[in-house]
Amino acid sequence: MRSNWLAPKLVQLVERFLQLVERFLRLGKRFARYGLDGFVLALIASIVVAYLWPRPGVYRGIVDLQDITRIGIALIFFFYGLRLNPAQLRTGLANWRLHLVVQAVTFIVFPALVLLAKIVVRGTWDAPLWVGTFFLAALPTTISSSVVLVSMGRGNVPAAIFNASVSSLLGILLTPLWMGILLAGTNGGFSPAQAILQLSLQVVLPVFVGMTLHKRFGILVIRHPRPFRLFDQGVILLIVYISFAESFFNKMFRDYSSWHVLLLCVAMLALFFVVYGLTTLLAKILKFNTPDTITTVFCGSQKSLVHGTAMSRVLFPGYTATAVLLMPLMIYHTLQLIVTSAIVGKRSLPAPEDNQQL
224-273 pLDDT, tens digit each: 888 888 888 888 888 888 888 888 888 878 878 888 889 999 999 999 99
Torsion 99-276-44-322 (CA) sign: positive
The number of angstroms, rounded, from the C-alpha of 179 to the middle of its chain's C-alpha atoms is: 16
pLDDT reported for residue 18: 59
Average pLDDT of the chain to the nearest whole number: 81
152-190 pLDDT, tens digit each: 878 888 888 888 888 988 988 899 989 888 876 555 556
Using DSSP's 3-state secondary structure scheme, residue 227 falls into: helix
pLDDT reported for residue 121: 83
Read off the pLDDT band of 111 (50, 70, 90). very high
pLDDT(349) > 50: no
Read off the pLDDT band of 355 (50, 70, 90). very low
pTM score over 0.85: no
pLDDT(347) > 80: no
pLDDT(339) > 80: yes
Domain ranges of the chain: 2-346
- Are 14 and 318 contacting, i.e. CB atoms less than 8 angstroms apart? no
Q: Quote the CA–CA distance of 163 and 147 in Å, as a whole number.
A: 9
pLDDT reported for residue 352: 46
Element of type H or E holding 224: none
Read off the pLDDT band of 275 (50, 70, 90). very high
What length does the chain have? 358
Which whole number is the average pLDDT over 204-225?
85
Q: Choose which CATH entry (2.40.110.10, 1.20.960.40, 1.20.1530.20, 1.20.1070.10) describes domain 2-346.
A: 1.20.1530.20
Other C-beta atoms lying within 10 Å of the C-beta of residue 55: 11
Torsion of CA 118, 119, 122, 128, to 10 degrees: 30
- Are 140 and 102 contacting, i.e. CB atoms less than 8 angstroms apart? no
pLDDT reported for residue 107: 95
285-320 pLDDT, tens digit each: 999 999 999 999 999 999 988 888 888 878 887 676
76-105 pLDDT, tens digit each: 889 888 888 777 677 667 788 999 999 999
pLDDT reported for residue 25: 57
Using DSSP's 3-state secondary structure scheme, residue 84 falls into: coil
pLDDT reported for residue 162: 87
Short-list 326, 356, 331, CA closest to 265: 331
pLDDT(202) > 90: no
Which whole number is the average pLDDT over 273-291?
93
Q: Quote the CA–CA distance of 166 and 143 in Å, as a whole number.
A: 10
